Structure 1
Amino acid sequence: MSSPVLAQPPISRPNCQSNCGGIEIPYPFGIGTGCYINDGWFQIMCDNSTGNPKPFLNRNNLEVLEISAEEGTLKVRNPITFSNCSNKPISRPTANLEGTPFAYSQKNIFTAVGCGVRALITSNSNGDTISSGCKSECSISTNNSSGRNSCQTALPSFLFDFNTSFQDFENQTRSSCNYAFLADRDWFANNSTNFSAIREMDNVPVVLEWSLFHSTTDVYGTFLEVNATMISFRPFCDTYNDSYSINESLRLKCSCGGGYEGNPYLLEGCQDINECELPNRCFEPNICMNVNGGYGCSPPPKSNSQVNVIFIGIGSGLGFLFLLIASWWLYKVIKKRKAIKQKAKLFKQNGGLLLEQQLSSGEVNVEKIKLFNSKELETATDHFNVDRILGQGGQGTVYKGMLTDGRIVAVKKSKVVDGGEVAQFINEIVILSQINHRNVVKLMGCCLETEVPLLVYEFIPKGTIYQYLHQQNEEFQLTWKMRLRIAAEVAGALSYLHSAAGFPIYHRDIKSTNILLDEEYRAKVADFGTSRSVSIDQTHLTTIVHGTFGYLDPEYFQSSQFTDKSDVYSFGVVLVELLTGEKPVSLARSPEVRGLVAYFNFSMEENRLFDIVDAQVKVEGITEDVLAVATLAKRCLDLSGRRRPTMKEVAMELEWIQKSVKASKLQQNQEEVEYVRNEVTGDCPWDVASESTGSGFDGGTASSKDSLPLLPY
């Protein structure tokens, strides 16, 4: 009978089933996911197929009869071995527990029943053969209900599996039916007077000892979980070693200790027993007083008894409160140290050491880079809500966020999983910290404390030119003037990277999806994850081929040597996109011109450029200007990199085309104004009045006053 307790202590984890068919299931055993320790051996399956729920060990399918967390034991059904018995199988295998957290307890006893028979129990645990047994002689009486014609023997220690066999000995006459079994010693003591009833059984209860393997991850967590509250709730955990442990690892057993009762494998699982509720604790007239882990006997209080009781209660309460505060403080310290170690590990994993090397070498502009903390960016992006995603690509996912100062930013969550991608991530920081150009996306900072590294950029609100060129957008379309300006801005940025930066930088992934538009539709070059910087006297990079199909330089693809002319080729593809509105690769075109470059070159050779030019460009663009841009694009797409222009030359030529477009527009506007003036200053005054009236009400030719704003164009 269990001792009375102050409160019923928990036996299983919260929200977990703690009973199956009337049998309690204490932790570390459990039913369902998260309810047992991280080891499948302790998973319990509650079988309801027969209508009477029965618990079974999941991995070896043993029916469980009882589990004790305090004693570290459980009872299961074990088969009886029969020989020459009618209606009984000759042999049935017993459970092999080798390599499991379980072992047959020495609380069991081996019993053989028969006449003139030797029963042997043999084990081959861990490669060693262990034998034990007993001899049962024939008694004169034929009545075996009192236990005659039987023998017993104790078990060897650390028994994990066994086989039972029978042998005749000396000149004894062997009886027709013999049987033997390993059973709980206490159970046998209550049933030993009725062997005939045992013979009709198929199974008997056997006691197994269990322990946790200290080498498993979850056991370490359990060990820390228990010891973190050892001061308050007094569980005691001890480790021991034996030659049969898995990989020679330590085994772990816990108990509540004297004066406490409950499940030592749970937080607050051990609770103090109120010994004063038990009879005869103290001799009269002493008074029993319960304390944590025990009790005391004190003489009855004198005149100031109530005051003493109050002081004792206050002292006990303050002591208990102090212990709780100490336990909480210890938990916070451990948690804080763990968080610091985790952040240090992630900092190293995400390339922090590599970034420190770059900082010490002076390659990173420290003033431009802010180190954000993970909490700040989680708040800014609403914990990286999917509704905040701006775009996804090979390098990672970009989220829209708002900092505490109200600034809108774009947070790039990188897909870093190995050292090579870490180097790309740090490379992007190094490259962007050196760039100061109005047409390049500005890097604001980074964060290395998270599972994957984060980059923080200025927010570019109007999307990519790919969206405006290739996706339906009736609200806004790129005019010829805007396309020409975007091309000039991108060319200027690439020219800066190639020749005006501290040392040359190759972008290596120029494409329409990497060109963003700000609130004034100005171009911003983005995504420098694969970019590389080179020394001034270096002409090329030899790398593994990297790029986007449709934009990739054929010369680089064949030689693996990336030059500044490789960026020129990719820009040429973008230039053709702006001219034609066609995608770099389209399955809608015939196979020989499926690629945009081949389609464009074919049209140029056939003198059919304006068959593929975008309708908006055809309407708004002047033929000479469109031909000039197309000719420049064809030069950029030359198969020989040497014959391609440099980005500086491309930028200058685009600026010249822009100026010619502006000049032609200005001339056209001036001619319109001059025409209106001539109309107004004609020879007949009444014609002036008539023309003015017509333009005001009939929507005819605009007056000179209406035309004046066109002059500054």
Structure 2
Amino acid sequence: MRSKCAMAISSSTSRTQDLVPLLCLLLMAAAAPQHSCASPPLPVTLPGCPDKCGNISIPYPFGTKEGCFKPDFEVLCNDSFHPPRAFIQMAGAKITVDDTYYKTNEDGMPDNDIGSSEWPIELVDVSVSEGKARVLGAFSYDCKMNDTYHAVRRQEIDLGYWMPFSMSDADDVLMGIGSNVVAKQTSGPQCQSYLLYQLSTRKTDDPVNGSCSGQGCCSANLRSGGMAATEVTIQKNTKDDGGFYGDGVSCSYAMIVDKSWYNFSSPDVDSDAFLRRNAAGVPVVVNFSFGVDGCPNASEPTPDDFACVSNYSTCIERPPVLDNVSIPYFCSCSAGYEGNPYIHGGCQDIDECARPHMYPCYGGKCKNTPGDYECSCPAGTKGNAKQAPCTDLFPLPAKISVVLGLCSWSS
């Protein structure tokens, strides 16, 4: 006669075999890809307004048509280019370029004017969430055309009065490239780039690619305070004082530039390679802001011209400008939301469960909630499924002990 434990095990095995087909169906259903309704596209600009110029996205508060932009944020979409290019239309926003030349065999090397010109500022891209835009800026250079003749270009980028645009001292740097160059920013920093000349070999030390620490390339942080206009100049150099060592046309450069853009390349020292490669300009990051009194207090009425109009948007103050008198701000969607905070209904909930690479849920059950998501461990497991895979509530040895205990009790 079989023991009660053996009979229990036999009965349990029979019931388990009956459940196998059902378990297989459940596993297949769980493994099948889950198809959810696609989220509607996030609003970029106001209804009926163009949201692109060529390949460039034009989000509100920028716009290309009347009624599609906030004051000072008009953009000209010039379709004479292929693809079309976007230019900031705010009064006073421009790049001024002065072209001169000098001869090293003239006493004092006086400047001789060639001409001046003004360029519109080209818009490259916009990050609404960061309150930043990238534009193309010119750069200054001193190019030795022959043994005595030097062509010089000095540039100034003017973003108008400090509002709504200003240089981003967090993203931009003053940079100089050359074997003996001093780059200067008006009312700001300067930096010096040089190459050491070895008398024994009659050669200069080779600069290191990627390094911008003074040997062939130098950089300096911008003066903080939201500058809107800045001129970059370059110190005159001659071959006799160690200014140029390149053969043919050789140049030194000075610029304000997005520090994440340029990776120093030694062939750019004392050559015209950089000039030919970047004839259209170099990228510069600018902040765009609103207001002069910072973000309104929660206890105060919201100003009529307050820019952060979407629900679930946040006002973020920038550092004070103009001798700490004015405090501008920009807008961003609150945590857990994305979109355009400058448009009514522009900030929409993020479906974190649809983006597991950004919002992990390790083997748990993901549930989207307004501004957040939940990730719970399945029954019989424990842990924080947002941080690591769930673990069994009772490890296998404990389960075996329970079964053996039941068998002993039943026999």
With structure 2 as the length reference, what TM-score do the two structures score? 0.60
Q: 1:27 aligns with which of 57, 60, 69?
A: 60
1:223 matched residue in structure 2: 306
- The AA in structure 1 aligned to 2:45 is S
Q: Does residue 242 of structure 2 align to residue 178 of structure 1?
A: no
- The AA in structure 2 aligned to 1:237 is C
Asked if the contact 1:211/1:251 (under 8 Å) is kept, the reply is yes
- The AA in structure 1 aligned to 2:218 is C
Tell me: higher relative CO, structure 1 or 2? Use CA pairs within 8 A at least 6 residues apart: 2
Deviation per residue, 1:540-577 (Å, 9 max, x gap): xxxxxxxxxxxxxxxxxxxxxxxxxxxxxxxxxxxxxx
Asked if the contact 2:156/2:229 (under 8 Å) is kept, the reply is no
SS at match of 1:186: coil
Q: Does residue 398 of structure 2 align to residue 299 of structure 1?
A: no
Q: Distance in 2 between matches of 1:97 and 1:198?
A: 28
1:117 matched residue in structure 2: 181
TM-aligned CA distance change 1:220 to 1:133, over 3 Å: same
Q: Distance in 1 between matches of 2:286 and 2:121?
A: 11
Q: How many residues matched?
A: 280
2:34 matched residue in structure 1: none
Asked if the contact 1:108/1:206 (under 8 Å) is kept, the reply is yes
Which sections of structure 1, spanning at least 5 residues, go unmatched? Answer: 123-129, 303-713
Asked if the contact 1:116/1:168 (under 8 Å) is kept, the reply is no
Q: 1:72 aligns with which of 131, 136, 146?
A: 131
Deviation per residue, 1:461-497 (Å, 9 max, x gap): xxxxxxxxxxxxxxxxxxxxxxxxxxxxxxxxxxxxx
Q: Distance in 2 between matches of 1:262 and 1:47?
A: 27
Which sections of structure 2, spanning at least 5 residues, go unmatched? Answer: 1-37, 94-119, 197-202, 245-249, 294-301, 381-411
Tell me which protein shows more strand as a share of its residues.
2
Q: Distance in 2 between matches of 1:270 and 1:156?
A: 34
SS at match of 1:28: coil
Give the drift of 1:254. Answer: 0.7
- The AA in structure 2 aligned to 1:101 is P
1:264-663 superposed matches below 5 A: 264-279=341-356, 281-282=359-360, 284-300=362-378
TM-aligned CA distance change 1:138 to 1:239, over 3 Å: closer
Q: Distance in 2 between matches of 1:240 and 1:92?
A: 27
Give the drift of 1:164. Answer: 2.1
Give the drift of 1:265. Answer: 0.7
Larger Rg: 1
Q: Does residue 49 of structure 2 align to residue 13 of structure 1?
A: no
- The AA in structure 2 aligned to 1:52 is P
- The AA in structure 1 aligned to 2:366 is C
Deviation per residue, 1:85-109 (Å, 9 max, x gap): 4496522332254343111112012
SS at match of 1:188: coil
Q: Distance in 1 between matches of 2:176 and 2:40?
A: 45
Give the drift of 1:47. Answer: 0.8
SS at match of 1:267: coil
Q: Does residue 74 of structure 2 align to residue 47 of structure 1?
A: no
SS at match of 1:90: strand
- The AA in structure 1 aligned to 2:83 is N
SS at match of 2:274: helix
Give the drift of 1:138. Answer: 1.5
CA RMSD between the two structures: 3.3
Q: Distance in 2 between matches of 1:119 and 1:21?
A: 35
Q: Distance in 1 between matches of 2:360 and 2:133?
A: 36
Give the drift of 1:167. Answer: 3.4
Q: Does residue 235 of structure 2 align to residue 235 of structure 1?
A: no
Q: Distance in 2 between matches of 1:100 and 1:224?
A: 14
TM-aligned CA distance change 1:301 to 1:221, over 3 Å: farther
- The AA in structure 2 aligned to 1:173 is G
Give the drift of 1:22. Answer: 0.8
Q: 2:189 aligns with which of 121, 129, 132?
A: 132
Give the drift of 1:172. Answer: 5.5
Q: 2:168 aligns with which of 91, 94, 105?
A: 105
SS at match of 2:306: helix
Q: Percent identity?
A: 29
TM-aligned CA distance change 1:225 to 1:165, over 3 Å: closer
- The AA in structure 2 aligned to 1:79 is A
